[in-house]
């Protein structure tokens, strides 16, 4: 098995291939620090699909070059955790110098591009150089979807493969096939919440927050719900904090102009006090979604965690990243900024989920192919000679290839 260096990890590894946040039991250590536990979902899921007997971390921030020479001899390749690295403001610190010295293949596993709301994407020369170094060192770069593939193509990179995200395949079930139960049977629902927002990716903050608020309240009035947070400081304090910290968090939310005007009210406060969930352990989210009949909301990886466990999910898209994931996997999705009224019944349609089932199967194959062609020892099943799950009377969609 392989000896793997991780570039830009997210969390500490335990039990070989499980991830939780650093010193997770020391709640007060990181309670004032924002970290998106969704990044740890990706890290955890990647490890679950790879075979390895040694795992290390590639130092980027403060590297000692003599250590880099040693790592070259002790490891086989570098694995870059999938994330949103390709954007106008990415800073790579000492990556170029380290990779030049290391001279090992760099496997970019499901990276993505984030388009700004306004203006064109203008990648720095540093970002272009890093991407070309990775492409030149490997058989292919794995990207999450067509938009990211186009961005890399436009800067001259050709060895690209669309692989989606490892989180989708964390259960490594090549036969995953979501079949919807009657909507009337749905009782337990998870709402993936993203209260934090930026005009850098959300074109209308008021619409983003008011729709989010209304969605949470409508679901809570219809089902037994859990609000699933993923790292905002105030939400962490409500879940983990002392009584004083919880009240400080509520006060801070009420003092936030956007939140107080467009999101927070008495009903939302009650739900946050009584139904909010957060954990620094990836496995806790997996256990939670396995207990739900439906998971829906704004969090990309929270929704994908549900789908990977066979729990139906509806996406709400609001930026290029969420749109790209919905397109790659053909996930039923609603554009938050559309003028169309959202009706869950319109999306609780087996025909829509049949499209997801097919896209999921094809992307599983692409991810397996990506790992194989890059020499990554892995647990994924070779399904290239197994037909995708078609439904009678439906046309075969055009397949995207690398």
Go through the domains of the chain in sequence order and give each one's CATH number: 2-173+367-373 (3.40.50), 183-349 (3.40.50)
Determine the Cα–Cα distance for residues 400 and 388; give it in Å rounded to an integer: 14
Question: pLDDT of 194-233, one tens digit each?
Answer: 999 999 889 999 999 999 999 999 999 999 999 999 999 9
Residue 339 is predicted with a pLDDT of 87
pTM: 0.94
CA end-to-end distance (rounded Å), the chain: 27
Q: Give pLDDT tens digits for 329-366.
A: 999 999 999 989 999 999 999 999 999 999 999 999 99
Distance CA 263, CA 269 (A): 10
3-state secondary structure of 26: coil
DSSP letter string over 79-140?
EEE----BSTT---TTHHHHHHHH---EEEEEE-B---SSS-----HHHHHHHHHHHHHSS-
Lookup result for tokens 């962490």: 236
Q: DSSP code of 138?
A: S
For residue 394, what pLDDT is reported? 41
**Tens-place pLDDT, residues 135-174:** 999 999 999 999 999 999 999 999 999 999 999 999 999 9
| Residue 386 binned pLDDT confidence (cut-offs 50, 70, 90) | low
pLDDT in tens, 31-53: 999 999 999 999 999 999 999 99
Place of tokens 């998870």: 190
| More reliable by pLDDT, 387 or 283 | 283
pLDDT > 70 fraction of the chain, expressed in percent and rounded: 96
- Give bridge partners of residue 18 from the DSSP assignment: 14
Closest residue by Cα to residue 305 from 165, 108, 196, 185: 165
DSSP 120: -
Average pLDDT over residues 307-312: 98
Q: Tokens 């980027």, residue? A: 60
What average pLDDT does this structure show over 261-283?
98
């Amino acid at each position: 098995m392989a000896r793997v260096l991780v570039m830009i990890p997210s969390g500490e590894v335990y039990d070989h291939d499980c991830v939780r946040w650093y010193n997770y039991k020391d709640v007060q250590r990181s309670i004032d620090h924002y970290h998106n536990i969704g990044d740890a979902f990706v890290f955890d899921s990647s490890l679950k699909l790879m075979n390895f007997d040694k795992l290390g971390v590639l130092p980027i921030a403060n590297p000692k070059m003599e250590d880099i020479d040693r790592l070259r001899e002790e490891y086989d390749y570098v694995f870059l955790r999938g994330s949103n690295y390709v954007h106008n403001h990415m800073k790579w610190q000492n990556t170029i110098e380290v990779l030049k010295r290391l001279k090992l293949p760099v496997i970019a596993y499901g990276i993505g591009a984030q388009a700004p709301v306004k203006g064109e994407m203008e990648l720095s020369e540093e970002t272009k150089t890093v991407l070309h170094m990775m492409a030149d060192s490997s058989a292919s770069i794995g990207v999450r979807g067509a938009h990211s593939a186009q961005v890399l193509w436009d800067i001259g990179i050709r060895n690209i493969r669309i692989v989606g995200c490892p989180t989708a395949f964390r259960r490594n079930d090549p036969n995953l096939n979501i079949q919807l139960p009657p909507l009337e049977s749905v009782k337990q629902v998870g709402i993936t919440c993203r209260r934090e927002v930026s005009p850098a990716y959300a074109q209308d903050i008021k619409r983003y927050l008011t729709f989010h608020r209304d969605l949470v309240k409508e679901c809570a009035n219809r089902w037994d719900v859990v609000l699933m947070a993923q790292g905002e400081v105030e939400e962490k304090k409500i879940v983990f904090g002392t009584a004083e910290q919880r009240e400080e968090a509520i006060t801070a939310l009420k003092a936030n102009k956007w939140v107080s005007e467009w999101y927070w009210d008495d009903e939302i406060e009650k739900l946050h006090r009584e139904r909010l969930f957060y954990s620094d352990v990836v496995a806790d989210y997996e256990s939670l979604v396995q207990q739900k009949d439906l998971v829906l909301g704004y969090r990309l990886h929270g929704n994908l965690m549900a789908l990977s466990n066979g729990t139906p999910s509806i996406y709400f898209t609001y930026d290029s990243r969420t749109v790209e994931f919905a397109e790659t996997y053909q996930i039923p999705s609603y554009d938050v900024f559309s003028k169309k009224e959202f009706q869950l019944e319109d999306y609780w349609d087996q025909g829509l989920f049949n499209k997801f089932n097919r896209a999921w199967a094809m992307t599983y194959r692409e991810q397996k192919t990506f790992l194989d062609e890059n020499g990554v020892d892995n647990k994924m099943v070779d399904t290239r000679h197994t037909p995708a799950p078609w439904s009678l009377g439906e046309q075969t969609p055009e397949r995207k290839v690398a």
